[in-house]
């Protein structure tokens, strides 16, 4: 009997332990080392003291502010556009109509496609000699590639945003669709019998019900785009680039003394991400209420 009790007691910790071990050990190990380096502790090149001057350097660097702005701007516009496109799509797809199953399937296609594949597809479409330029040429709107606007390796990061838009709009849209389906149409029907017209039903009945889901999904998307590096690395200008890319570039530099500032940027990034996380949980908790 005692033995069984012990086994019962151990069951839960045992179930959680492996995951815990792998993640916490790996992850926090990396975090701790990174943190150490950001604070200037890099015995391998002889820096044995903790200092905050790397943070100070980074934060006062004018490049930092520009980078921060670029990162923020790309994340913000990508998220905004994705949300703006996702909501009408979800509203249309929630009803069953001829072809709605096909449409919903198409809408889901971007979800599992790797970002790099998307990047190439977008590039093939929107470079100055890409398919879109050629379509315009075939209807006579332009005669040479140079006339097509620059969207790749441009300061505004248009191609980058297109990639994120293509990937994230369906993500937001599907979550909103799931919420719309679980909410059902009854509230709106009720409002209809009380005299509310189309717009009133959307604004006063539906929107409040889907707003929390929209908000929390947007925050996730924003945090993700903010922290990602592959696409800006691939399709963006060398300078000014996003914070994650800059950190990565510094890290890969053969000059090891650039590592501490690289890690400092990374830590600052992490802090900002955690702030997003907290905001997300607040919103989610409010939504559940």
Interaction residues for another protein, span 110-129 (CB under 8 A): 110-125, 129
157 makes contact with another protein (CB under 8 A): no
User: Least CB distance from residue 186 to another protein, whole Å?
Assistant: 6
Peptide bond into 169 cis (omega under 30): no
Considering only 80, 81, 156, 187, the residue that binds another protein (CB under 8 A) is 187
Considering the complex, what minimum distance in angstroms separates the CB of residue 203 from another protein? Answer: 11
Q: Using the rule CB under 8 A, is 150 a contact of another protein?
A: no
Q: How far is the CB of 54 from another protein (least distance, A)?
A: 14
Of 137 and 156, CB closest to another protein: 137
Kindly tell me which residue out of 61, 81, 150, 273 binds another protein, with binding defined by CB under 8 A: 273
Which of 108, 202, 237, 279 touches another protein by CB under 8 A? 108
Shortest distance (Å) from residue 223 CB to another protein: 7
Residues within window 198-237 making contact with another protein, judged by CB under 8 A: 200, 204-205, 208-209, 220-221, 223-224, 226-230, 233-235
Q: Which of residues 42-71 bind another protein (CB under 8 A)?
A: none
CB of 269 to another protein, least distance (A): 5
DSSP state letter for 155: T
> Looking at 177, 210, 214, 283, which residue binds another protein (CB under 8 A)?
177
Give strand ranges (E) for 40-129: none
Answer yes or no whether residue 90 interacts with another protein by CB under 8 A: no
Report the C-alpha gap between 82 and 97 in whole angstroms. 24
Query: How many angstroms separate the CA atoms of 177 and 86, rounded?
Result: 9
Q: Which of 220, 142, 249, 254 is nearest to 134 (CA)?
A: 142
Alpha helices in the chain (DSSP H): 2-20, 29-38, 53-60, 62-93, 100-108, 115-126, 131-138, 158-183, 186-193, 198-200, 207-227, 230-235, 243-252, 259-288
Quick check: 80 binds another protein (CB under 8 A)?
A: no
Residue in 6, 10, 32, 59 binding another protein, rule: CB under 8 A:
32
Among 107, 161, 218, 240, binds another protein (CB under 8 A): 107
Contact 94, 181 (CB under 8 A): yes
Q: How far, in Å, CA of 150 to CA of 158, rounded?
A: 8
Cα gap 265→262, rounded to integer Å: 5
Total binding residues for another protein by CB under 8 A? 107
Half-sphere exposure of 217 (CA within 13 A, CB side): 23
| Interacting residue with another protein among 6, 56, 57, 134 (CB under 8 A) | 134
Q: Which of 164, 202, 138 is nearest to 80 (CA)?
A: 164
């Amino acid at each position: 009997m005692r033995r069984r009790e012990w086994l019962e007691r151990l069951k839960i910790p045992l179930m959680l332990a492996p995951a815990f071990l792998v993640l916490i050990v790996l992850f926090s190990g990396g975090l701790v080392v990174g943190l150490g380096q950001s604070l200037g502790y890099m015995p391998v090149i002889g820096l044995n003291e903790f200092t905050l001057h790397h943070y100070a350097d980074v934060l006062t660097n004018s490049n930092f502010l520009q980078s921060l702005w670029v990162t923020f701007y790309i994340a913000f516009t990508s998220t905004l556009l994705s949300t703006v496109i996702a909501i009408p799509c979800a509203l249309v797809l929630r009803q069953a109509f001829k072809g709605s199953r096909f449409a919903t399937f198409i809408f889901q296609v971007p979800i599992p496609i790797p970002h790099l594949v998307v990047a190439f597809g977008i590039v093939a479409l929107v470079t100055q000699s890409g398919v879109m330029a050629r379509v315009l040429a075939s209807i006579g709107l332009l005669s040479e590639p140079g006339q097509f606007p620059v969207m790749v390796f441009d300061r505004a990061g248009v191609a980058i945003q297109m990639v994120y838009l293509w990937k994230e709009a369906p993500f937001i849209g599907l979550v909103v669709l799931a919420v719309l389906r679980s909410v059902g149409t009854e509230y709106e029907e009720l409002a209809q019998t009380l005299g509310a017209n189309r717009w009133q039903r959307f604004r006063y009945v539906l929107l409040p019900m889907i707003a929390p889901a929209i908000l929390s999904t947007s925050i996730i998307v924003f945090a993700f785009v903010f922290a990602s590096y592959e696409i800006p690395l691939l399709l963006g200008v060398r300078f000014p680039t996003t914070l994650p890319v800059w950190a990565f570039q510094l890290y890969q530099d053969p000059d090891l003394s650039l590592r501490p500032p690289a890690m400092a940027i990374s830590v600052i990034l992490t802090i900002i991400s955690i702030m997003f996380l907290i905001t997300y949980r607040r919103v989610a908790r409010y939504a559940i209420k």
